[in-house]
Structure 1
């Protein structure tokens, strides 16, 4: 295998996906896989990566056990996801990411830390939630630091929009929660407005929430905090009468 293998999704795809009739919230980027990431994809991918299918995923079969399942959308290089999964061994974690180096990176961490409660899907999260996640099946959803699309004309590409939040809420089991975090204040304001307007969700805090102990502070986030940059967490829960 070449040690300079290019990520499968090299190049840009259209923001507007005619097959789904929506604007995508991400751009696929060309990226180089490190030798370690490439090895992890080859050796651990068959065990921990699940194919995208337009059919509900059987969590018990996928994880080999019955346990609360938490969905993480856009896990990047996977450091936070691995840390949370290691700290919460009694929960299943389903990570969704489009970028191949990130998938390889998290697989590498899975191998190094001997994590068995993680499964990964490399696909558009909106399609995964729409087709593979059954209603009322998730204990929680994590959306940490999604692309802020900070230019006003690009705000429509942000992931946290009313329709997607409604879809996520429909997948939460009774007592399930939706946890978002961002370091862009404008996006935090939008998130608070959108989540607060969804009739099936209720805020667990009076506005923004304290960072839950299960979400570790990343090196990038810590540098920003030292420079005085803000980070906003939002934790909403499915209403009992939803």
Structure 2
């Protein structure tokens, strides 16, 4: 049978499709196998996020351990006009900023959002209710990803911003090396090239360490209480 609406013939297939859509009043309930698969996928995401955060933490600690040596080397290069030493320090900063930025980006997946919320001071204690006869006993579950553990994503990003501030100070000191007039032209060009590469990777680190999704063209001034202009 063919129905007519406003003088236009409607094919039976369209009518059948409309009736089928009308019958979908409630979403399909997942099977037990599908629910178990969802749990497995959630566990995998959580494990991957924790591993990525631990990797970022290790890279951050290694950079902290090298910070004083980088400051001393930058001061020496600036005082003596040693372009090769300045280039070496800038290269180390470039590589460290690149590695840390990539590690933070890897740790910032969907599974890591729980750690961000916990460290930001949102609800960190879950209540579990167990019934014993006529009584209901409330048991507090341990907090997950608390800032004191130092492994949650927001804490990592905050520390990375502080580290970025120190790296910017070192780069400013390194640029004083270029004030010496007797640096050979070739060394000066190579030094400036490395400076540009280091600052590009530092910009990438800043984007990865932002508390939320980075916006194109965003020039942050203060993040996590850290003044990036200093």
Question: Counting strand residues as a fraction of each chain, which structure ranks higher?
Answer: 1
Q: TM-score range by the shorter chain?
A: under 0.3
Question: Counting helix residues as a fraction of each chain, which structure ranks higher?
Answer: 2
Specify which structure has the bigger relative contact order, considering alpha-carbon pairs within 8 angstroms and separated by 6 or more residues: 2
**TM-score, normalization by structure 1:** 0.20
Q: Which structure has the greater CA radius of gyration?
A: 2
